[in-house]
Amino acid sequence: MSDFKWRHFEGKIILWAVRWYCRYGISYRELEQMMGERGVPVDHSTIYRWVQKYAPEIEKRLRWHWRRPQSTSWRVDETCVKVRGQWTYLYRAIDSNGDTVEFLFSKNRDLKAAPDLRVTLLTVHSYRNICGKILF
């Protein structure tokens, strides 16, 4: 059964208008004018009703496409790099996709640097799993 049953326009036209409105952020009246130029005589209030009805459903169905793949495993590596003419230690946490999850620069290679990175990493990584991005 079609989600567009009992509508005066085809589903392709409705999706076209809703996508344009959501993607490009143009006004309903501008969208009405654009649709009219393409031979689809539709009122701006009709487009408003389409957006209210179909945009949440489109967002719900496409949400899993927009997520970046989340990895639950990560590795930490340590290397020595030169920053502004001075050697510093760079600790990096990299997930299984090769993305940098967190990093830390330290002047000294000591036992304090690794736990600092671990605490930061666990805090940030747990936020990343919830929100899908790193929050600083």
In a shared domain, residues 41 and 87: no
136 within a domain of the structure (yes/no) = no
Report pLDDT for 22.
Answer: 85
Strand 100-106, strand 86-95: pairing: antiparallel
For the chain, the residue count is 136
E strand or H helix that includes residue 39: none
| Cβ–Cβ under 8 Å, residues 13 and 27 | no
93 within a domain of the structure (yes/no) = yes
In a shared domain, residues 15 and 54: yes
Domain coverage including residue 50: 11-66
Positions in the chain short of pLDDT 50: 1, 127-136
Tell me the C-alpha distance between 95 and 76, whole Å. 9
**How many separate domains does the chain show?**
2
